Amino acid sequence: MSFSNWRLWFNRKENGANYKKIDDDAERNDEAEPVGIQRLFRFANRTDFIMMSVALFLVLVQSICILFSLIFFGMLTGLFANQSFGNKCDQQQNNLTDLVNNNYTYHSNIDVHVVKRASLDKLSTNSYTNFLSTLPTTVTPFRDKVMKIIYWGFIIGAIEFVASSVGCFIWTLSMKRQIQRMTIALFRSFTQRLYELVKVIASETLNELVTYSRAGKIVQEVFSSLRTVLSLNGSKFEQTRYEKELETTRWSSIRQGAVLGIFTGWLSLMAYLVYAVGFISGSLLISRNSSRSIDISDILVIVSIFAESFSFISFIGPFFQSYSEALGAAAPVFRLIDEGNDATINESDVWRDDTDSIVNINGDVAFNDVNFVYPTRKDAPVLHNLSIRARSGQTTAIVGSSGCGKSTCLSLFLRYYEPSSGQITIDGRAITEYGVNELRKNIGVVSQEPILFGTTIYENIRYGKLNATRLEIEQAAQEANAHDFITRLPYKYETLVGERGVQLSGGEKQRIALARALVKQPTFLLLDEATSALDSASEKIVQETLNQACKGRTTIVIAHRLTTIQNADQIYVLDKGTVIEQGTHETLIAKDGGKYQSMVKSQQVERTDEDSDDMMAIETIRKQSENFLPFRHSRFISGSVTTDEDKDSSKPLKQRNVIVRLLAMNKPEWLTILVACLACIINGAAEPFLAFLLAKIVEAFKYCSNSQLRRHVLLISFIFLVMGVVLMFIRFCQYTAFAIAGSKLTQRIRSKTFTCLLRQEVAYFDRPENSSGAISTRLSSDAAAIQEMLTTRLGSVCEVLALVLFGFIFGWIINAELALIAICALVVLFISLGAEVSVRLWLSEKCDPIIESASKLVVEVIHNMRTIKQLSIEKEVLRQYSGLIKKVTILSWKPQILFSMTFGLLWILEIYTLVFLYWRALVLYERKEVTNHGIIMVLAFAIFSLQALKLIGMIAERIADSVSAAETFFDLFDRIPVIDNGSTEGQELPDFRGEIKFDEVKFIYPTRPTSTILNKLQLNIEPGQRIAVVGTSGCGKSTIVQLLERFYDTTRGQILLDGIDIRNLNIHWLRSQLGYVHQEPILFDLTIAENISYGLEDIPRQDIINAARRANVHQFIEHLPQGYETRVGMKGSFLSGGEKQRIAIARVFLRRPKVLLLDEATSAMDSQNEQIIQEALEKAHEEDPSLTSLIIAHRLSTIRSCNSICVIERGRIIESGTHAELAQQRGPYFHMLSQNHLH
């Protein structure tokens, strides 16, 4: 059967609805085809090729050694056979002694193989670095496959096979051509099937990567947005979504194992066929040639070389699989590279060092009749004949409702996209004439959603200007009103901010992002809602700083909060991508019935009579800001600082047997594993039996009668054929069974890991080693390592052990002394391999954290590519990535020397053992203590066993990686979370009223044990009340919401719901009663309908539409080409901030919670939409008077109607009351209120 048609028989119905068949012409039309071998090394440089050539030459030398060892084996065996057939003894013994001496002298030079190994490791590392510098999240499988193909699949397998075959052909040219022709025909068939195997496995590898890349994307999405997933009870939905993709991946793995089983089984058949055909042909030649110019030695040489070549290729089948997998794994990587080279925007300028700097630029910016449509939404025009002028040294503001195209203008100016038509100019010169890199270096940007990287505050600000001095960075922080709060942190500028800045409040992140923009002293300053996350006092101070920073610069401001732009030199009002009004604040506000005037009126706040107190209030808040020490922060320590409870829960079980636990997880497939192990035992026992048959068939040539010779040879050759057919079927069963068991175990491990991770408390993910990037790496590469060990690797190990066991038994029966010589060599090999595995486990423990850091960096770059480009730090992140990879290289260098020595030992020990066996067999034969056929059997057993053990040495690295990966998973499985997010225990309150009480609550973040966030907080909320919490950034407002959601538990005190401690409630029920809308809305890469109904099951479409209407987003959705089926992209990247927020609010409305938690829920909206949402919230309270609301707010206009407003400072409530009461008290709330006036 042709391998190309194998799907027809293996595509069973059991995979049914769960398996999405990837059709080569349909669903995979967007995927790259497997690459060719010549393209696999497209990035190798001259040094790489020189080293590779040296390695190939040394392997060729080694292959010739193997060839001659087989020749010597054939000639030596023939000498024994001929001697027993009555030839002259003295002459034969002299020849025998000469051969033994020559063999010893020749193979003593085999130590050079150690040098080859060391050089090749360096080559592998260079290639590894070159390839990884540009890889996405598929980096790990591609790296592993390329390293294995360079060494195992390509060099040792293919080159040794070809070299041995070429050597065989050269040798047989001087011998009998009749036998040669027959064996050549078999090799032609082999090469054809090998080509088909490579194509099939490469294709299936590509399918597997495509399917798991979707699963990997789910992992990154979930754990980078875990708080949103947990608050919406989306764990079950995400688990189902992840397992669905895993099922598809599993079937690809099974099909790979099946086709590899067919191939190796076919190789076994070919090897036994060579024995049968070779001996039959030889016997016919001998019987027809009375002079017997051909003898048994000639036949043994030719047959042994060809048969062992097939057998060797059969043993290294896993490495040919790696070769094929490398071709498939490289496809998506190279496609990404090629797409980058073919980018429509000239991003290649970023990597050029010869671009001209922009000097003597005035800074006048003009949009001239610009039209634009996003490539992913071509049916929805964004800008239409837009014309805007931004004068040098002036501030130009762009306002309008959400989705009108404001942020798109900035994207076009930064050259993320190119206009569909029209032109953007700087000083009258088209923007395309400037280098992209230099242009962006002259632009400072502060976006609506500040993006920080998981490093220190110092590094985050330095990214704005890579060569900035310490003084410049601190000055920029002072200008952004961030220096004071940074210096009061225990580690100041060296404090780690966590993934996406999770360790900082929204306002603090925004101020650091602002400092990052100011540090480069840009010509252009782009502010996209730059102060939207700041409280009123900080906004006023920062706005004054911005006003000062804008002087002498061309500033473009995107704003919803019109207080920030009233001093702008020119204001443009946009609607549907077109300018409908323009002018100064005074001229626009004087225009009756104008759009701008209506927006200002909707934001107008009730004025107090004490306007004269405004400046005093500003100074008071400024002093409070200078003296206030936020207790929120300490250095983000990499897991070294945890609570005692967390330390106890994290302890793994000691001295556990990893293999036993893996087999226990594989219990449902035990019958399948038993079948695979039985197949291994049979395959292992076949080699000693083959040695027995070889001795018997050699003995058959003693007959002088041609008829007797042919009869015995035909009988044994028939047994060879039967064995070949049986072993072909058994090998197919072995590989397929292991593939089924291994793929199911891998699926089970990934699924259980995903579940266990979702059960962990949020504090677990606050540690950098548990970032979404690190988790993705573990689930991808570590699980794949375990799958390798329990599929092809375990099968190879079991087969080798069976071979050694049965061979030792047969050898001991024949001659104990010769058997002991072989066993001593095997013991030495086992000890050396055990030492190598131990060292590899140590190395893996050291290197894994570095590799996870590199993966984390890759994920961070991919998710924040817009910010990377805007900051022009592509080269910097590449330098960091290369530095991490270099650390792994340096750390691995010394252990690699030991590994090279072990590998060299594998090869020289075989040669020396055989030499010693030859010599000892000669001595025993002279003493008549062993027969000739006994010698042949023992020598054959020794050759088979030692060659098989070399295979174990080759895969020692992968075995060590698999054990290390399994230990990592079991550490997680054994960990007991402090807060079990998957728990089904706890009370449910059937008549929950919505009463909330914070009773003397004290809270410290587990990763920052020296900082107190809440300090004896006392807060009572009655059912149906709307309570607002206000205060400066970092005072602990958002922490209150996170404690209610049980992302963390209180350090001291308790939180009560209807009088019941929140820790005694069912966590899923609790979160179903809370509707949480965060300041930075998180959407998932699903359709709009799926995002609104996220975490809920079987929701009617009409309910989704009604929720969207209440959130004022239905009309926008209906105008999209695909409506509610429109995908929103990763984290909602296809939508504006306001659109995302409205969908997030619709998601909460659909759940109909008993308690609303709004953390700056309307901060990203324009005044019109904010008013509509406020009306919707008011209506929700009217429909359900018992609805309790807790509102975190900076924009005080959103909380005027609340029943009570609480002002928090230093983790305590310092005053509370209604809006009117607090305004009359002239306390902190009054001073905050005075900052919100429009003049």
Kindly state the average pLDDT of the residues 387-391.
89
> In what side-by-side order are the strands of the sheet with 365-372?
383-390, 365-372, 421-426, 429-430
Task: Return the H-helix or E-strand segment holding 1017.
Answer: strand 1014-1021
* pLDDT at 985 exceeding the cut of 70: yes
* pLDDT at 8 exceeding the cut of 60: no
Kindly state the average pLDDT of the residues 934-944.
70
Kindly state the average pLDDT of the residues 730-747.
87
Kindly state the average pLDDT of the residues 774-802.
74
* pLDDT at 692 exceeding the cut of 90: no
On whether the 992-1073+1155-1239 domain is CATH 3.40.50.300, my answer is: yes
* pLDDT at 922 exceeding the cut of 70: yes
For residue 312, give every residue at least 6 positions away whose Cβ sits within 8 Å of its Cβ, in sequence order, or none.
160, 161, 164, 947
* pLDDT at 77 exceeding the cut of 80: no
Of the listed ranges 181-195, 230-244, 922-936, 1116-1130, the least confidently predicted one is 181-195
Q: What span, in angstroms and rounded, lies between the C-alpha atoms of 905 and 612?
A: 89
Listed in order, the ranges of the chain carrying CATH 3.40.50.300 are 443-564, 992-1073+1155-1239
Of the listed ranges 6-10, 41-45, 922-926, the least confidently predicted one is 6-10
pLDDT class of 1230 with cuts at 50, 70, 90: confident
Percentage of the chain beyond pLDDT 90 is: 5
* pLDDT at 146 exceeding the cut of 60: no
The string of pLDDT tens digits covering residues 308-343 is: 666 555 555 555 555 555 655 566 666 666 655 544
Kindly state the average pLDDT of the residues 212-227.
83
The string of pLDDT tens digits covering residues 795-836 is: 777 777 777 777 777 778 777 787 787 778 778 877 877 787
DSSP 1227: S
pLDDT at 1046: 92
Kindly state the average pLDDT of the residues 1156-1168.
72
Q: Are 422 and 367 in contact (CB under 8 A)?
A: yes
Closest CA to 333 of 24, 32, 26, 28: 32
pLDDT at 71: 66
Q: Which residues pair with 1028 in a beta bridge?
A: 1191, 1205
More confident site: 910 or 630 = 910
Using H for helix, E for strand and C for coil, what is the string for 625-667? HHHCCCCCCCCCCCCCCCCHHHHHHCCCCCCCCHHHHHHHHCH
Task: Report CA-CA distances (Å) from 428 to 386, 424, 728.
Answer: 17, 9, 76
Kindly state the average pLDDT of the residues 935-957.
67
* pLDDT at 134 exceeding the cut of 60: no
Kindly state the average pLDDT of the residues 204-228.
79
pLDDT at 888: 84
Q: What span, in angstroms and rounded, lies between the C-alpha atoms of 917 and 898?
A: 28
pLDDT class of 132 with cuts at 50, 70, 90: very low
Query: Cα 394–397–400 angle (5° rounding)?
Result: 170
pLDDT class of 449 with cuts at 50, 70, 90: confident
* pLDDT at 137 exceeding the cut of 50: no
Closest CA to 936 of 308, 97, 79: 79
Q: What span, in angstroms and rounded, lies between the C-alpha atoms of 929 and 933?
A: 12
More confident site: 823 or 704 = 823
More confident site: 1002 or 615 = 1002
pLDDT at 112: 28
Q: Are 269 and 729 in contact (CB under 8 A)?
A: no
* pLDDT at 1084 exceeding the cut of 70: yes
pLDDT at 1011: 72
* pLDDT at 645 exceeding the cut of 50: no
More confident site: 799 or 173 = 799
* pLDDT at 773 exceeding the cut of 90: no
Q: Which residues pair with 627 in a beta bridge?
A: none
Query: Cα 774–777–779 angle (5° rounding)?
Result: 110
CB count, 10 Å around CB of 102?
Answer: 12
pLDDT at 1211: 84
The string of pLDDT tens digits covering residues 1094-1110 is: 988 888 999 999 888 88
pLDDT at 18: 38
pLDDT class of 1043 with cuts at 50, 70, 90: very high
For residue 1172, give every residue at least 6 positions away whose Cβ sits within 8 Å of its Cβ, in sequence order, or none.
1112
Averaging pLDDT over each range in 79-88, 332-341, 649-658, which range is the top one?
Answer: 332-341
pLDDT at 313: 58
CA torsion through residues 694, 695, 697, 702, sign: positive
Kindly state the average pLDDT of the residues 976-999.
89
More confident site: 134 or 754 = 754
pLDDT class of 1055 with cuts at 50, 70, 90: very high
CATH of domain 443-564: 3.40.50.300
* pLDDT at 659 exceeding the cut of 70: yes
Q: What span, in angstroms and rounded, lies between the C-alpha atoms of 531 and 512?
A: 12
pLDDT class of 1091 with cuts at 50, 70, 90: very high
Q: What span, in angstroms and rounded, lies between the C-alpha atoms of 843 and 553?
A: 53
For residue 664, give every residue at least 6 positions away whose Cβ sits within 8 Å of its Cβ, in sequence order, or none.
none
CB count, 10 Å around CB of 941?
Answer: 28
Kindly state the average pLDDT of the residues 87-112.
35
pLDDT class of 1116 with cuts at 50, 70, 90: confident
Kindly state the average pLDDT of the residues 740-745.
87
Percentage of the chain beyond pLDDT 70 is: 68
Listed in order, the ranges of the chain carrying CATH 1.20.1560.10 are 3-342+658-974
The string of pLDDT tens digits covering residues 462-507 is: 888 888 888 888 888 888 778 888 887 778 888 888 766 767 776 7
Q: What span, in angstroms and rounded, lies between the C-alpha atoms of 463 and 868?
A: 9
* pLDDT at 641 exceeding the cut of 80: no
Q: Are 535 and 507 in contact (CB under 8 A)?
A: yes
pLDDT at 63: 67
CB count, 10 Å around CB of 26?
Answer: 8
Q: Is 122 exposed, middle or buried (0-12, 13-18, 19+ CB in 10 A)?
A: middle
pLDDT at 1057: 92
The string of pLDDT tens digits covering residues 561-613 is: 777 788 788 899 888 888 888 888 888 888 887 888 887 877 664 333 333 33
Top CATH class, 3-342+658-974:
mainly alpha
* pLDDT at 1198 exceeding the cut of 50: yes
The string of pLDDT tens digits covering residues 37-50 is: 566 666 777 777 78
Mean residue pLDDT across the chain: 73
Q: Are 142 and 131 in contact (CB under 8 A)?
A: yes
